Structures are given as structure tokens and as C-alpha cells.
């Protein structure tokens, strides 16, 4: 019996969201939606819901590092997705562990929650710029994050591209500059790489259900990259996934808060694909639904 070649392994390094809408919980659910395998190194425990963050406790940096080692040394990893880190010590520990990894690194530079609550300590910002940013293959900042990482004021789509170019000069392979904060009718994101700038636009949904959109987008990219997609394709699929997850949001949480997305989107399989899976002993059960 031959063992299948492992693929689709995503190591998520991020904080826990007790309400399940963002952070580690959103990351795991997103990876599962695409069929990727999730591992985690938890950096912080947050007490939060759709109304905001009430309390945060960061884990010891050595414990974060040990979680990463445990996953990498045994299961291995194809893509590392980094979210909330919080402290300088954790950032430095993560940088040391991922520096030599043969894996694609996706960095979502989480500094502020959707509710506006700060998730990154002041002295950690410089550490993220100098220690972690140069190790990233893809960084996914929103407008405020893009401004403090690049030092460029972002007021329009052209500025997104300029800020992305500035991040490439800092050693990043590619930057997905998210334009959701801009005052535009459609949502415009720009994927900036050495190959140029790919400007992508989509309809803007006017809704309160936006909790965890950044986490979800970065994890969707990570999952699809781990499963073998090109970067451009992974970004396009991830954007479509987030749009549908917002559009079909379950409506949970206070009307004064930011509700979670629908991470349970099922990928539809064609009848032809179903027929090719005759080796699946559970395939016949589909017809009984």
C-alpha cells in the first residue's frame, strides 16, 4: 500500500476569537471549506464578540514557538498563515522558527480588530516591520495597515499600488493591498508583485457582517496555495469566497456589532466529478439525501 503524498497543510499562527468570527476559528473553518488541513500555533486568548474585544492575554513566546516546532517536525507544512501576534517577543520567536522553512508565508499584519480595538502592542509594530515582513511571501494589509507598513498615505487605487511597491522593496515577494476602506463604489484590491500590479474589483456589500474578513481572505489564499494553486488564482478564488461568505452571513450577533461571515460555504462538485469518486465508500450516501 502506497501512502498518498501530503498536500494542503496550513500552519496558522494567530490568536483565538472566542466568538468564532475571526482569528484561529475563522482560519480553521476557511481552510476546511477548501479541503486544506489546518494546524495551529495560538498566540493569544481574546475575550470578544461582535461588539468588540473585552480582554486579551498573550501566550508565552516560548510556548508559541514550541507549537510551531511540534507541527512542523511531525506533520510538515506547505503554507504558513500568520495573523494576530501581539507582542515583540512573539514576533521575534515566530520569525526565528519560520526563517528556514520550505513553505509559502502569508502574513496578515493584524494590528486592529474590525471593532477598532488594538491587537498589536506599540513596540511590536517595529518588530513586525523589521523581523517578519522580509520573510513574507505574501502580505495582505488593509489601508491603515498598508499605510503604517509602507509609510505611504493611501487615498486611492494608485496609492495602493505605490504602497505595495514599497513593501516589495522591503523584501516581500507580493502584496495584496486591500482597498475596502477606500470610498469607492466597488471594492478594489491590488495584487502587487515583481510581475506588476493586478487590479481586481468587485461589488461592495453594505452590511454589518464584516467580522473576520481579513482573517478569512488570508486563510482562503493560504488554503488554495497549499492545494497547489498559483498566487493569482488563489487570490481570485479567495476574494470570491469572502464575497459569498459576507453575502450569505448567518446574521448572528447584536445589531450594533459586526457580525460573522458564513464560513460553511460548500464547494459544489459536478456530477462528472462525483462519478469519478467511485472509490469513496460513502459516495452512495449522497443519493440518499
Which of 23, 214, 257, 259 is flagged as catalytic? 214
Is residue 162 part of the annotated active site? The answer reads no
Residue among 105, 157, 165 at smallest CA distance from 133 = 105
One of 15, 83, 146, 212 is an active-site residue; which one? Answer: 212
31 is catalytic: no
Q: Which of 81, 88, 131, 178 is catalytic?
A: 178
Q: Which of 40, 43, 213, 216 is catalytic?
A: 213
Asked whether the beta carbons of 13 and 110 are under 8 A apart, the reply is no
Give every CB contact of residue 77 below 8 A, 6+ residues apart in sequence: 9, 10, 11, 39, 71, 101, 103
Q: Is 213 a catalytic residue?
A: yes
Question: Exposed/middle/buried for 279, CB within 10 Å: 0-12, 13-18, 19+?
Answer: exposed
Select which of 30, 46, 161, 210 is catalytic: 210
The grid cell for 172 is 516581500
DSSP string over 152-181: ----SHHHHHHHHHHHHHTT-SEEEEE-TT
For the question of residue 178 being annotated catalytic, the response is yes
Sheet with 9-17: list strands edge to edge. 52-58, 37-49, 9-17, 79-82, 104-107, 138-139, 174-178, 186-193, 196-203
Catalytically annotated residue among 87, 129, 164, 215: 215
Say how many Å lie between the first and final Cα of the chain, rounded. 33
Active site residues: 178, 210, 212-215
Amino acid at each position: 500500500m502506497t501512502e498518498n503524498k501530503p498536500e494542503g497543510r496550513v500552519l496558522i499562527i494567530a490568536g483565538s476569537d472566542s466568538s468564532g468570527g475571526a482569528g484561529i476559528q475563522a482560519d480553521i473553518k476557511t481552510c476546511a471549506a477548501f479541503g486544506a488541513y489546518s494546524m495551529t500555533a495560538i498566540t493569544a486568548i481574546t475575550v470578544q464578540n461582535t461588539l468588540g474585544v473585552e480582554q486579551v492575554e498573550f501566550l508565552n513566546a516560548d510556548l508559541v514557538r514550541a507549537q510551531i516546532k511540534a507541527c512542523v517536525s511531525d506533520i510538515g507544512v506547505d503554507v504558513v498563515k500568520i495573523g494576530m501576534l501581539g507582542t515583540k517577543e512573539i514576533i521575534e520567536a515566530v520569525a526565528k522558527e519560520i526563517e528556514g522553512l520550505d513553505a509559502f508565508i502569508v502574513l496578515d499584519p493584524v494590528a486592529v480588530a474590525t471593532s477598532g480595538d488594538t491587537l498589536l502592542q506599540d513596540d511590536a509594530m517595529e518588530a513586525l516591520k523589521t523581523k517578519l515582513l522580509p520573510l513574507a511571501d505574501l502580505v495582505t494589509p488593509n489601508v491603515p495597515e498598508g499605510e503604517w507598513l509602507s509609510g505611504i498615505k493611501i487615498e486611492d487605487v494608485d496609492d495602493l499600488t505605490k504602497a505595495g511597491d514599497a513593501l516589495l522593496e522591503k523584501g516581500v515577494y507580493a502584496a495584496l493591498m486591500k482597498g475596502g476602506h477606500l470610498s469607492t463604489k466597488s471594492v478594489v484590491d491590488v495584487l502587487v508583485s515583481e510581475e506588476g500590479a493586478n487590479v481586481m474589483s468587485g461589488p461592495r456589500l453594505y452590511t454589518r457582517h464584516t467580522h473576520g474578513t481579513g482573517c478569512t481572505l488570508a486563510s482562503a489564499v493560504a488554503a488554495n496555495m497549499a492545494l497547489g494553486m498559483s498566487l493569482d488564482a488563489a487570490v481570485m478564488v479567495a476574494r470570491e469566497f469572502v464575497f459569498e461568505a459576507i453575502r450569505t452571513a448567518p446574521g448572528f450577533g447584536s445589531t450594533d456589532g459586526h457580525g460573522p461571515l458564513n464560513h460553511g460555504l460548500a464547494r459544489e462538485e459536478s456530477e462528472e466529478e462525483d462519478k469519478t469518486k467511485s472509490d469513496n465508500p460513502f459516495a452512495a450516501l449522497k443519493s440518499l439525501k
